[in-house]
Amino acid sequence: MELVIESADTDVAGQIQQLQNLMAKEVDAILVNPGDVSGLNATLEEALSKGIIVISVDQELNVPGVYNVGIDQKAWAMTSARWLADKLGGEGDIVQIEGFPGHPANVARMEGVAEVFTDYPGINVLATDTGLWDEATGQQVMSNFLAAYPTLDGYWTQDGMAIGALQAVMAANPAEWPVAVGEGRCQFINLWTEVLETNPDFETIAVANPPGVSPTGLRIAYHILQGKEVDVSTLGGVNGLSFVIPVPMTVTNDNLQEAIDYCADKPDAHLLDGIMTDQEVLDTFFK
């Protein structure tokens, strides 16, 4: 079996070109991490028409015939949003820092967060801005929020922006720190422990968003190509073809030491991860 890789940080047009390149090479299966909720649909449907197995990893697409492999992004965001609302006692002024508007994961996450907050009428969302999934941008956005809302009670954010947001709070050092939502990255875990040294009452949450969904998706593609039959009763999602991967770890102050131990020998950029084994893939999703 040959693995062909088209890899570049690109926009929708660039991803469409990459998909066309793969089709020209007459591949049997395509794994793609889409950068838009619908921009690739026509090209993916073209691939399906050529008999190519198409799997969207990490981001769920509502395209008939396209498999999705990833965590439930909406449920992922709802976990930290509900934690935040509960920590605030169901009341307070908060802000939100989202990722790329229009990106499938961001759309699902923000829908989930909004759904949670409808159950907490005392939570007042003062403003939402985009941090573009970038640490420095997240830090600047949070700095602006702290200047505009000096008595902020909490904030919800996601992924690398959480590192920048916490760094902004540390720099501003308000009299009352807002309740923070973090992320499942070793850099954030290390920052968390640093904050606790001077602010022992600090609490946050980190829900892992495992990059291991991609190799898990590759294992799924391999078994489909080998003629294994998918047990469709195990699938879900918007198009009924989603392999939903469990979130490997959710960290709060209660189990922070577990995350510290996990990150002890790993670089800052390492994400809290989980990859399904070959046998787990077979036992969970195939007949």
| Separation of alpha carbons 57 and 243, rounded Å | 10
Mean pLDDT, the chain, rounded, equals 95
State whether 99 and 22 are in the same domain: no
Query: Which pLDDT score is estimated for 56?
Result: 96
Residue 4: inside a domain: no
Q: What is the mean pLDDT of residues 25-35?
A: 94
Residues 6+ positions from 84 with CB-CB distance below 8 Å: 94, 154, 156, 179, 181, 205
Q: Per-residue pLDDT for 163 more than 80?
A: yes
Residue 2: inside a domain: no
Choose the final residue of a domain: 207, 233, 260. Answer: 207
Nearest to 33 by CA among 51, 15, 46, 53: 15
Query: Which pLDDT score is estimated for 2?
Result: 87
Q: What is the mean pLDDT of residues 8-17?
A: 87
Locate 151 and state its tokens.
């008595």
Locate 37 and state its tokens.
């909720």
Coil, strand, or helix at residue 5?
coil
DSSP characters over 64-129: TT-EEEE--HHHHHHHHHHHHHHHTTTEEEEEEEES-TT-HHHHHHHHHHHHHHTT-TEEEEEEEE
Locate 15 and state its tokens.
């991803």
Q: Per-residue pLDDT for 238 more than 90?
A: no
Residue 137: inside a domain: yes
pLDDT band at 195 (very low <50, low <70, confident <90, very high): very high
Residues 6+ positions from 180 with CB-CB distance below 8 Å: 154, 155, 162, 165, 166, 169, 202, 203, 204
State whether 88 and 58 are in the same domain: no
Query: Which pLDDT score is estimated for 37?
Result: 82
Choose the final residue of a domain: 207, 230, 264. Answer: 207
Per the CB < 8 A criterion, the answer to whether 13 and 19 are in contact is no
Per the CB < 8 A criterion, the answer to whether 61 and 34 are in contact is yes
Per the CB < 8 A criterion, the answer to whether 157 and 181 are in contact is yes
pLDDT band at 9 (very low <50, low <70, confident <90, very high): confident
Q: What is the mean pLDDT of residues 15-26?
A: 95
Q: What is the CATH number of the domain that holds 21?
A: 3.40.50.2300
Q: What is the mean pLDDT of residues 114-135?
A: 97
Locate 259 and state its tokens.
């995350």
Q: Per-residue pLDDT for 1 more than 80?
A: no
Helix (H) or strand (E) holding 258: helix 256-263
State whether 66 and 171 are in the same domain: no
State the CB neighbour count (10 A cutoff) for residue 101. Answer: 11
Q: Per-residue pLDDT for 31 more than 80?
A: yes
Sole residue written with tokens 């968390």: 192
Residue 45: inside a domain: yes
State whether 63 and 183 are in the same domain: no
State whether 158 and 241 are in the same domain: no
Of the chain, the percentage scoring pLDDT greater than 70 comes to 100
Q: Per-residue pLDDT for 10 more than 80?
A: no
Q: What is the mean pLDDT of residues 194-214?
A: 95
Note the Cα 112 to chain centre separation in Å. 12
Residue 150: inside a domain: yes
Query: Which pLDDT score is estimated for 165?
Result: 98
Query: Which pLDDT score is estimated for 102?
Result: 85
Query: Which pLDDT score is estimated for 267?
Result: 97
Q: What is the mean pLDDT of residues 6-24?
A: 90
User: What global pTM score does this model have?
Assistant: 0.87
Residue 82: inside a domain: yes
136-150 pLDDT, tens digit each: 999 999 999 999 999
pLDDT band at 36 (very low <50, low <70, confident <90, very high): confident
Number of domains in the chain: 2
Residue 258: inside a domain: no
pLDDT band at 192 (very low <50, low <70, confident <90, very high): very high
State whether 18 and 93 are in the same domain: no
Query: Which pLDDT score is estimated for 92?
Result: 98
Range of the domain at 102: 73-207
Query: Which pLDDT score is estimated for 35?
Result: 85
State whether 121 and 236 are in the same domain: no
Per the CB < 8 A criterion, the answer to whether 117 and 49 are in contact is no
State whether 214 and 180 are in the same domain: no
Note the Cα 246 to chain centre separation in Å. 12
State whether 38 and 66 are in the same domain: yes
Per the CB < 8 A criterion, the answer to whether 47 and 33 are in contact is no
Residue 43: inside a domain: yes
Q: What is the mean pLDDT of residues 260-264?
A: 97
Least confident of 9-13, 123-127, 282-286: 9-13
State whether 197 and 151 are in the same domain: yes
State whether 97 and 168 are in the same domain: yes
74-119 pLDDT, tens digit each: 999 999 999 999 999 999 999 999 999 988 889 999 999 999 999 9
State whether 191 and 117 are in the same domain: yes
